Chains A and B, each alone.
Chain A
Amino acid sequence: MPMMMLRGNESTAYAAKLARVKVIPAYPITPSTLFPEKVSELIANGEMEAEFLPVESEHSALSAAIGAAATGVRAMTATASQGLALMHEVLFIASGMRMPIVMAIGNRALSAPVNIWADQQDTIAERDSGWIQFYAETNQEALDLTLIAFKVAENENVLLPAMMGMDAFVLTHTMEPVNVPDQKDVDEYLGEKKINYPVLDPEKPATFGAFVFPEHYMDIRYSQYIAMEHAKSVIDDAFKEFEKKFGRRYSKVSGFMTDDAEVILVTMGSITGTARETVRKLRERGEKVGLVKITVYRPFPKEELVSITRNAKVVAVVDRNVSPGFGGAIFTELVASYNKEKRKPRILDFIMGLGGRDVKIENYEQVYDIAKKAKRGKFKEINWIDVDEEAVKEVEGSI
């Protein structure tokens, strides 16, 4: 298992190589362009055998990936932000047709205003598209989770596409030491792609993408919903098997110093590292604070999140996204996850780091201060951290 210095985009390109992906249609977009570049290089050097399609748009990239997956081969693409938004229509088609495509995303802000930096709005906006969603904290995770994504997507009880998000630049363009698994081990982990669904084959003609009336449409949607429910345990199994084979441990949510924590931060993606550092510092000062990292966002790890946060007094959710008119997505779903519980902690939302704004230790300390004060008395539900409230108020007025 060689250690290599890899950027996030290279991690996912190596994952494509190790997974022996056969067709890779892709279109350049910052910050994921290095993925098709690296794939093109690996193919040119004879290190990788795959058909690379330099298509004319992201819409076509995913459409071609569906064509390839429907022919029975492993297909992967990569994109970000506007590119993912352009794919919106095709995302639903890929999941509706149950194509186990994997896509690496450089999580980036959506226009307008145009911005190329880290933000999870792009994938969060696609949470209803029927794709499994993983989020990496490091480039090692980006590689590992891409392999795991294939394992889960191709499981015959799932057969759903999966996306693996990594924050723009912080991961996509930053070199980190990455343990690149041996081909033999990955072959054993993933196996030859099993054709466990009908494919486009003149020997066995089948119709894909038929016109479906109300008497059947809803049942087909229901089967998709069930498949996503199945993904919950399939992901756990894929994580376990991965740990056995490669020694690195993953779980849908992972806690850090949560056992006696009165305040728990919840994060997703690369900003988790700084949060962990902040928790360490606060613990030194005797503060009862912990951290929960979300690695799988779809299917949403309801039970796991409730079970790990239920004894806290306050849960401070960090959302690198926002739904104007309500709040952040993780906050919304965590609150909903407590529906069946008799008691729940106070849950606060912190909108942070949009469009690449740095999330620093001092920002997390501020989050902690607000959360700690919210243990009793009144509290503000949705909190924007590190914005110039006065300047915005001058233009938009106060709420």
Chain B
Amino acid sequence: MNYEDMEFFAPGHRACAGCAAPIIVKWALKIAGPKTIVVNATGCLEVFSTPYPHTSWRLPWIHTAFENAAATASGIDAALKAIGKRDDINIIVFGGDGGTSDIGFQSLSGMAERGHNILYIMYDNEAYMNTGIQRSSSTPFGAWTSTTQVGPSKPLGKEEFKKPIADIMAAHRIPYVATANPAFLPDFKAKIQKALSIKGPKFIHTISSCTTGWRHDPSKTIEIMRLATETGIFPLWEIENGDFSKIRITYMPKQRKPVEEYLKPQGRFRHLFNEPEKIKEIQRMVDEWWARFEVKS
């Protein structure tokens, strides 16, 4: 059945203009349909969608805390099993990068290891945006955040690399792991659809621009997220059962654009343009990742 003309995430929520999170949620739920229970980790999404007594959720929705969305979902999975209602209800978790890669990683790993029939979607805005743009393990190399300040002694911003959370989830050998980008909507929808058709734990890592934290014009959200993939910085792929040898690239850029095109319109990378060798380093890392997929001409 197709639910694309139905809305399960109601308008009128309090997300910033240009926030990508509602786009992700809206489309994931259109694919999932009405027989879905949603679990939400603490974060922007939870706050802007449920200002009591209002709610944007036209589906059953629960939030308990920051680090335990996967555990809460595990309990729902077990309860549905116990009452014989497991087969026809989807359980989808939405967590930000902090609630997933950092503080929620333990419960996520536990959920994956125990084999719960849950789709976990991480919307990755690459910092703790809800508390005001603090760095997370998912913040990219070279990004300014409010806790990776840029100054004469620290010209780079974040000095560490982004945690490869989707790889780590694939290493759990769960049935399905993918990266997705709402700027590539058909691919995004196909991945949600595929994930929900598979039993067991599934993990989708979606890029999710935050206009406030990334410092770009709210009208540029889709454009910048598209550049993330077109420059090869955020490749789109899927891996089944942890078999890295069979990774499937679902969008192959004909000619990858230079990383500057993605970095330039974002205020969080502005300082890098005083450090051209750092931009070269980012380009080198991206090239290295792609080397095994691109045939040298």
Contacts and interface: CB of A to CB of B under 8 A. Distances in A.
Given A25-B78, A56-B110, A89 B65 contact: yes
Interface in B120-139: none
Contact of B79 (A59, A61, A72): A72
A202 interface: yes
Contacts, number: 157
Interface string B36-52: 11011000001100111
Which are the 9 A-B pairs with shortest beta-carbon distances? A67-B75, A64-B75, A56-B110, A60-B71, A71-B79, A209-B63, A63-B68, A63-B71, A210-B50
A51 B35 contact: no
A213 interface: yes
B75 A65 contact: yes
A231 B201 CA distance: 40
B65 A93 contact: yes
Contacts of A208: 60-63
A55 B68 contact: no
A310 to B, nearest CB: 43
A50 B81 CA distance: 9
Nearest to A67: B75
Name, among B34, B57, B64, B73, the residue most crowded by chain A CB atoms within 10 Å (CB to CB): B64
Interface residues of A, number: 44
A22 B60 contact: no
A25 B78 CA distance: 9
27 contacts: A22-B79, A23-B82, A25-B74, A54-B114, A56-B110, A57-B110, A65-B75, A67-B71, A68-B75, A69-B79, A70-B72, A70-B76, A71-B37, A71-B76, A73-B83, A75-B79, A93-B65, A200-B37, A202-B35, A205-B60, A207-B55, A208-B60, A208-B61, A209-B64, A210-B55, A211-B51, A213-B51
A212 interface: yes
Given A23-B82, A211-B51, A67 B110 contact: no
A276 B290 CA distance: 77
A210 B62 CA distance: 8
Contacts of A201: 60
A370 interface: no
B67 interface: yes
Interface string A23-34: 101000000000
A64 B77 CA distance: 9
A206 interface: yes
A68 B46 contact: no
A49 B83 CA distance: 11
A90 interface: yes
A60 B73 CA distance: 10
A216 B52 contact: yes
A325 B74 CA distance: 41
A206 B68 contact: no
A23 B64 contact: no
Given A63-B68, A210-B51, A71 B107 contact: no
Given A57-B110, A205-B60, A73 B79 contact: yes
Given A60-B74, A66-B64, A205-B59, A51 B109 contact: no
A90 B74 contact: no
A67 B74 contact: yes
B113 interface: yes
Contact of B34 (A60, A93, A202): A202
A205 B61 CA distance: 7
A97 interface: yes
B89 interface: yes
A5 interface: no
Nearest to A27: B110
B104 to A, nearest CB: 10
Interface of A: 22-23, 25, 49-51, 53-57, 59-61, 63-73, 75, 89-90, 93, 97, 200-202, 204-213, 216
Nearest to A207: B55
A71 B75 contact: yes
A209 B39 CA distance: 10
Contact of A67 (B39, B109, B113): B39
Categorize the interface residue count of chain B.
35 or more
A63 B107 contact: yes
B12 interface: no
B273 to A, nearest CB: 38
B171 interface: no
Contacts of B151: none
A284 B114 CA distance: 60
B84 to A, nearest CB: 11
B190 interface: no
A90 B53 CA distance: 22
Contacts of B68: 59-60, 63, 90
B6 interface: no
Nearest to B66: A89
Contacts of A216: 52-53
Given A59-B68, A202-B37, A207-B50, A75 B75 contact: yes
Name, among A23, A93, A202, A207, the residue most crowded by chain B CB atoms within 10 Å (CB to CB): A207
B47 A200 contact: no
Given A55-B74, A63-B107, A90-B65, A50 B57 contact: no
A205 B58 CA distance: 6
Contact of A63 (B46, B47, B58, B72): B72
Contacts of A67: 39, 62, 64, 71-79
A49 B81 CA distance: 11
A51 B75 CA distance: 9
B82 A22 contact: yes
A69 B68 CA distance: 15
Contacts of B62: 67, 70, 200, 207-209
Nearest to A64: B75
Contacts of A212: 52
A64 B78 contact: yes
B107 A56 contact: yes
A90 B71 CA distance: 11
Contacts of B113: 56
Contacts of B50: 207, 209-211
A56 B113 CA distance: 10
Contacts of B77: 67
